[in-house]
Amino acid sequence: MSLALIDYGAGNLHSVHNALKAAGAGDVHVTADPDVVAKADRIVLPGVGAFAHCMDALTAIDGMVAAMEQCVRLEATPFLGICVGMQLLADEGVEHGSTCGLGWIGGTVRAITPAVDLKIPHMGWNDVVPRDGAPLIALGEAYFLHGYHFDAANAADVLATTDHGGALVAAVGRDNIMGVQFHPEKSQTYGIELLKRFLEWAP
């Protein structure tokens, strides 16, 4: 089984690669080549930084979004987005103005509204609470680092939440598409176990 870890200059590639290997992934290609992505059995899109910067970097790679669309939307290749890689699944992000996302899961990425005595960004360990029947996601604690959150258009696409002055989306998904707001690569055993389940996932 081959796995494409997309390199578009906006992800924590080394740590994610190591976590995937620790989870049992054998054939991991860190790649900016759409042809490699098109042939992969699984695709992982990491992401750190601002939504607009990440989306611009992804679309700047000629043919990459088209290859992702073909594999994930048409051929149902299992896909995992991490942090901003998950946020890019949305219709748009409103950091530094409005930027269109991939539009695979309806929603808007908005700034977290500060609550009394709670700091933004939401940083550190926090609970992940899956909804009943959610694939891949288990109850536990994961590591978060984000100042923006996924405001999903359809509650059925929310697979898990966390709490930081109110409920925030911790994971979204539909069919063969999964995104997590937390960082599996920083979430120790919890994160490795999630990646193991992703490697075995047959949506």
pLDDT tens per residue across span 95-121? 888 999 999 999 999 998 876 677 888
Annotated catalytic sites, by residue?
83, 183, 185
Q: How far apart are CA 160 and CA 172, in angstroms?
A: 7
pTM above 0.75, yes or no: yes
The domains located in the chain, with CATH, are 2-200 (3.40.50.880)
Average pLDDT over residues 61-89: 97
**Segment 2-25, tens digit of pLDDT:** 999 999 998 789 999 999 999 999
pLDDT for residue 116 = 65
Beta bridge mates, 145: 123
Structure tokens at 67: 């290859």
The pLDDT tens digits for 170-194 are 999 999 999 999 999 999 999 999 9
